[in-house]
């Protein structure tokens, strides 16, 4: 098994960026989901209720970021300053984040047709993953809940095989917005993995990833008028464990060591356990 893809997402729910190599830090890939859009009341905004965010591209540069959107143009955003802050909410956790300048927020609000503010997970911001699953004091940024999301090519092939069997087309891996994609032929074998090691970096698999309507959206246009993997996941990936309800694809992983990993690196499975229970459907 080898690393097939590495991806990070500078803006939560914005378009992803492919990498050839990545550092793995305690919070995951540095720069991953360290920016987020929030409503004026602090509630986070994502593709679930604003699919057009798939069109928003953010590129880190030496002294800030470049934001671009098809049909809107582009503009530069300076890095965060610690003096302007706000409490924002992401999945029932409150983060004290740095807030972008008024012109940046006005431009993004105009582009998106909705009042938003850009916030930064800077050095003063603090958040940890669920201690129940990840253990105590594991740092995480604006990701949904955990540091690294891992998927496999075999699982995507298995899902697409079911979609094609039912005349539903197929989908690409970008629908699932992983950080690490592993080239491995066996569908859903990751349900049994305790941990993996890549170039000395140990990643513990702590919780399967439940999936939502974002998987039904084209990750370039935001359109939902495209093949949807949800019916197939309902047939072959419905959780039978009420601790994590719904359909599952990929695993949330917590770094237990740090280092540099690259596309093409060998991946070693460190231990196996009983597979996560999946409901059997015809």
State how beta strands 117-120 and 93-99 pair. antiparallel
Phi then psi dihedrals of residue 229, to 5 deg:
-85, -5
Residue 142: the pLDDT is 98
Nearest 10 degrees: Cα torsion 157, 161, 167, 168 = -30
User: What are the angstrom distances between the C-alpha of 103 and each of 51, 60, 79, 118, 155?
Assistant: 23, 19, 14, 11, 44
Cβ pair 205, 251 in contact under 8 A: yes
Residues of the chain with pLDDT under 50: none
Give the E-state strand segments of 107-171 in sequence order. Answer: 117-120, 148-152
pLDDT the model gives residue 33: 98
Which whole-number Å values give the CA distances from 61 to 10, 58, 65, 189, 278, in the listed order? 11, 10, 5, 38, 43
Closest CA to 215 of 54, 21, 25: 54
Q: Can you say how many angstroms the Cα of residue 247 is from the centroid of all Cα atoms in its chain?
A: 16
In angstroms, how far is the first alpha carbon of the chain from the final one?
A: 31
The pLDDT of residue 82 is 87
Per-residue pLDDT at 68: 98
Give the pLDDT of residue 274: 97
Instruction: Name the nearest CA neighbour of 187 among 232, 152, 148.
Output: 152
Residue 282's pLDDT is what? 58
pTM of the model: 0.96
CA distances from 50 to 43, 45, 116, 169, 194 (A): 13, 7, 11, 24, 35
């Amino acid at each position: 098994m080898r690393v097939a893809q590495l991806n990070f997402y500078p803006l939560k729910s914005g378009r992803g960026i492919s990498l050839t190599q990545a550092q793995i830090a305690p919070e995951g890939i540095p720069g991953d989901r360290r920016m987020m859009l929030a409503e004026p009341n602090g509630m986070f905004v994502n593709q679930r209720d604003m699919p057009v965010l798939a069109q928003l591209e953010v590129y880190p540069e030496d002294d800030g970021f470049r934001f671009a959107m098809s049909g809107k143009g582009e503009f530069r955003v300076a890095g965060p300053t610690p003096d302007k802050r706000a409490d924002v909410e992401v999945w029932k956790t409150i983060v004290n984040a740095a807030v972008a300048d008024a012109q940046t927020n006005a431009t993004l609000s105009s582009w998106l047709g909705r009042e938003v503010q850009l916030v930064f997970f800077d050095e003063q911001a603090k958040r940890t993953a669920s201690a129940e699953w990840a253990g105590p004091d594991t740092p995480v940024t604006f990701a949904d809940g955990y540091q690294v999301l891992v998927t496999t090519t075999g699982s995507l092939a298995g899902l697409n095989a079911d979609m094609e069997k039912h005349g539903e087309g197929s989908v690409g891996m970008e629908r699932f917005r992983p950080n690490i994609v592993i080239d491995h032929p066996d569908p859903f074998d990751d349900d049994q993995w305790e941990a993996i090691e890549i170039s000395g970096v140990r990643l513990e698999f702590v919780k399967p990833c439940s999936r939502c309507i974002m998987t039904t959206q084209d990750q370039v246009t935001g359109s939902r008028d495209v093949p949807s993997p949800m019916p197939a996941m309902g047939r072959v990936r419905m959780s039978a464990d009420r601790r994590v309800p719904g359909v599952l694809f990929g695993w949330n992983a917590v770094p237990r060591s740090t280092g540099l990993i690259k596309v093409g690196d060998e991946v070693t499975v460190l231990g196996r356990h009983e597979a996560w229970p999946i409901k059997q459907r015809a």
